[in-house]
Amino acid sequence: MNRSEIEDMFGKFAIPSFLIFSLFLGVCYWQYGRSIATELWWLIFAIFCSYLLWTLYWIFKEKPAKDFKPIGKILEVEYSVIGKPRDNWYDDERGSKLTLAITAFLSCFAVIKFFELQYYAIRNGATDIESWIYGISISLAMAFLYWVISLVLIKHPKWHQISDSDYLLGFSKYLIIATSTWLFLVVFSALITLTKIGSEIFDLQIIMNIIVISLAISLVVLFFCLMSRFQITTLLGVFSAWILLQIIEWSAFFFLIEATWDVVWANRVLVMIGQLMTESMTQDYFPSQNWRIWLVIYMVWPLVGGIYGTMAETKNRFLVPFSIFSFILVLMAWNPTFVNYDSNGTLSRLLFATVLAIFSFLLSNNYSVRSGAYLANRLRSYFIMTAVVIFFSVFIIMDPPESVQKLACDEILYEYETKPILDGNGYPLQSGAAYTTSVVKDWECMAPIFHTSDGDPLPIIGKLADGFSESGLKPSQWGGLFVNLFVAAAGCVLGFGIGVVLAFGRQSNLPLFKYPSIGIIELVRSGPLICWLYFAMYLLPDVVEPTFKDPEDFDNIVRMMLIFGIFGGCYIAEVIRGGLQSVDSGQREAAIALGLNPIQTKLQIELPNAIRTTLPSIVSVFIGLWKDTTLLFIINILDFFKLAKDSPNTDMRFLGDFIEPVYFSAIVFWVVAFYLSRVSMRMERNLGLVREGGGGDLA
């Protein structure tokens, strides 16, 4: 094996070896404590520094910088932050080596700074994991700021123009401005000081302080004069790096050291699935209904993996972030702080759902890569239709209707109504005789299907039959983040369907469809969402009373989903209408020439083109609907935000800890909104909308 093969093998196995060593370090910390882990950390640092020195020697002496694979990404980050300097004093090879040397030096600085910050966090009461996160985040932010400043000061000045007369004249002008500022401040401050203390008193210390302060101010003036010669992109990059450091320092200190998160850990189940599901999960007196939530998760997780697999991208683009997300969920479920449920069962179910998602992704990805874009898009459409079916099936899973309950029963005991036997005058007989009618009064499931002869349910199917043969949880009994996600999903799914119908209705030439569509859109958009929520809460039962025998059957959560769907649909209708107006008339004419009827033309030609051009706006409406679910707490729906806000009242130990649950809810809402925006950007990239002009390549 020659040297180049050894270098390639080392580069290929560097990251897996680092991950394995980090896992080994975590096990050592878990078993032997902090002392052994600290020694191993220093060993990692020594290996890291040795590798950097060897790499620098290899690049500077024997290899060009372009042969070092990470240099391209490093230069890309540099140019995106501070811009690419013009009229350089160095060539590309020397510039790459300068960037690499600065990066290597500040990487060592970040590792050393990590230990100092980690020890500072430990002294202020942080746990080991919190101190590690604190040290890593701030050390990386500080190293990034110093990295940006070093690159600006070394690579951006025009060192090769120092001998140029114009360059010297400009620098001399700035120097004269700074010197004049210094002399003016010295004289002005000295006169004011001598006037106040008396001309007969001469204090050398006061005069020296005046000179030093004036010199500092003049140097600041000189610094800003020199900075004015840099590109505006460079200055914004330095300022952004400084702002990033300040934000990370504040947030890391507050979230990892100052704040107390016990109130969140103690109520993490409550804010996720609501009060009734929490009792079902933690108390013995209430029959367990958690399998309904897990069944939904087992359906959604593989669906997500399958949809990502149809994008036919590299596997790491999904497996790495999804593994990190699953690891965070496992940490939240495993954390032993205030655990009042079976954490081992929860971990096993989460891992099973993760395996299902990864398996679905791998199958879908392999099929999409082999089959091509057309079949991949068809598979994705199947997944999307499955998502809609799963959305409506959640109602059946959470609260099976009577027909589903009977299907899950092998033997049913019916209770019929009885009526008294009447005499000839129409009065009941005094003996109280009665007869049984054919009207069913009530029924009971005697034996669910898929059971053994002894009556025990089969491992999986029999237990599901047991659950579906009984009534579950009505929507009014749902709560927590589950409510917010489901109401937002209803707003997106129902809203998109309603929006398409209203958009075509508003453009219709038939008055029967056009004017009702215009009336609904303008009426709903004229009022804020909170007013429509109050309308659904207090006035809608009177409207639907002729349809429903009992208005109370029209559940509060169902009303909220209906209102979110209509409200979002009206806004999506206007967005799609704008996209329909942008569809070229030639496409309609071509569709008619091919023999498509008007409905086929609208659904297969106009609608896809309208959605393609208005996709960012549609996703923005979805993000707005997700954020608007926080309004549910105003009408006393036990949603995620309300339960988080009221969680300090659940225990005397948490009275006064109101800020942490609010921050936690803000982080959750931001994460979901950010994820939706990233999904939108990926869809735009796949559709070719990120290029200038929005149309992508026409070839």
pLDDT (tens digit per residue) in 343-374:
788 888 899 999 999 999 999 999 988 888 88
- C-alpha 251/C-alpha 403 separation (Å) is 53
CA 401 from centre of chain: 34
Identify which has the larger pLDDT, 3 or 260: 260
- C-alpha 437/C-alpha 414 separation (Å) is 12
Q: CA dist 198 to 6, 190, 192, 208, Å?
A: 80, 12, 10, 17
DSSP 477: G
- Please provide the size of the chain in residues: 699
Query: pLDDT-derived band of residue 582, with 50, 70 and 90 as boundaries?
Result: confident
Token couple for 361: 């992704």
483 in helix, strand or coil?
Answer: helix
Residues 6+ apart with CB under 8 A from 503: 572, 573, 574, 576, 577, 580, 610
Phi, psi of 267 (to 5 degrees): -120, 20
Query: pLDDT-derived band of residue 298, with 50, 70 and 90 as boundaries?
Result: very high
Token couple for 419: 């009526």
339 in helix, strand or coil?
Answer: coil
- C-alpha 531/C-alpha 523 separation (Å) is 12
| Average pLDDT taken over every residue of the chain | 79
Q: CA dist 509 to 501, 513, 529, 589, Å?
A: 14, 8, 30, 18
What single letter denotes the amino acid at residue 318?
F
Q: Closest by alpha carbon to 472, among 222, 272, 280? A: 280
Identify which has the larger pLDDT, 88 or 122: 122
Residues 6+ apart with CB under 8 A from 569: 494, 495, 496, 497, 498, 499, 501, 502
- C-alpha 569/C-alpha 618 separation (Å) is 10
Q: Give me the mean pLDDT over the 283-301 stretch.
A: 83
CB 139 within 8 A of CB 110: yes
pLDDT in tens, 135-148: 999 999 999 999 99
Mean pLDDT is lowest, of 214-228, 416-430, 480-494, 558-572, for 214-228
Q: Which helix (H) or strand (E) holds 572?
A: helix 556-581
pLDDT for residue 696: 39
Q: CA dist 17 to 9, 47, 615, Å?
A: 12, 12, 42
Q: CA dist 195 to 187, 200, 205, 206, 210, Å?
A: 12, 10, 16, 13, 14
Phi, psi of 639 (to 5 degrees): -90, -175
Token couple for 317: 């683009």
Query: pLDDT-derived band of residue 484, with 50, 70 and 90 as boundaries?
Result: very high
- C-alpha 345/C-alpha 65 separation (Å) is 51
DSSP 59: I
Taking 80 as the threshold, does the pLDDT of residue 70 lie above it? no
Q: Judging by beta carbons within 10 Å of its beta carbon (0-12, 13-18, 19+), is residue 147 exposed, middle or buried?
A: buried
- C-alpha 546/C-alpha 339 separation (Å) is 48
Q: CA dist 678 to 36, 269, 319, 457, 489, Å?
A: 41, 28, 16, 44, 17
CA 451 from centre of chain: 43
pLDDT for residue 35: 62
- The CA radius of gyration of the chain, in Å to the nearest whole number, is 34
Q: Closest by alpha carbon to 639, among 533, 541, 543? A: 533
What single letter denotes the amino acid at residue 324?
I
Q: Judging by beta carbons within 10 Å of its beta carbon (0-12, 13-18, 19+), is residue 148 exposed, middle or buried?
A: buried
pLDDT for residue 280: 75
pLDDT in tens, 598-644: 888 888 888 888 888 888 889 899 999 999 998 888 888 888 998 99
The residue assigned the tokens 């942008």 is 582
pLDDT in tens, 377-395: 889 889 989 998 998 898 8
pLDDT for residue 17: 59
- C-alpha 62/C-alpha 12 separation (Å) is 20
CB 298 within 8 A of CB 695: no
CB 309 within 8 A of CB 383: no
Single pTM value for the model: 0.76
Query: pLDDT-derived band of residue 698, with 50, 70 and 90 as boundaries?
Result: very low
Query: pLDDT-derived band of residue 549, with 50, 70 and 90 as boundaries?
Result: low
Identify which has the larger pLDDT, 126 or 691: 126
CB 358 within 8 A of CB 322: yes
- C-alpha 427/C-alpha 638 separation (Å) is 52
pLDDT for residue 573: 93
Beta-bridge partners for 422? 428
Buried b (16+ CB within 10 A) or exposed e, 384-423: eebbeeebeebbebbbbeeeebeebbeeeeeeeeeeeeee
Query: pLDDT-derived band of residue 6, with 50, 70 and 90 as boundaries?
Result: very low
- C-alpha 369/C-alpha 313 separation (Å) is 8
pLDDT for residue 224: 56
pLDDT in tens, 589-610: 888 888 888 888 888 888 888 8
Query: pLDDT-derived band of residue 321, with 50, 70 and 90 as boundaries?
Result: confident
Long-range contact pairs involving 394-399 (C-beta distance under 8 Å, separation at least 24): 394/296, 394/486, 395/475, 397/292, 397/295, 397/296, 397/472, 398/292, 398/296, 398/472, 398/473, 398/475, 398/478, 399/471, 399/472, 399/473, 399/474, 399/475
Nearest-10 crossing angle of helices 343-371, 290-309: 20
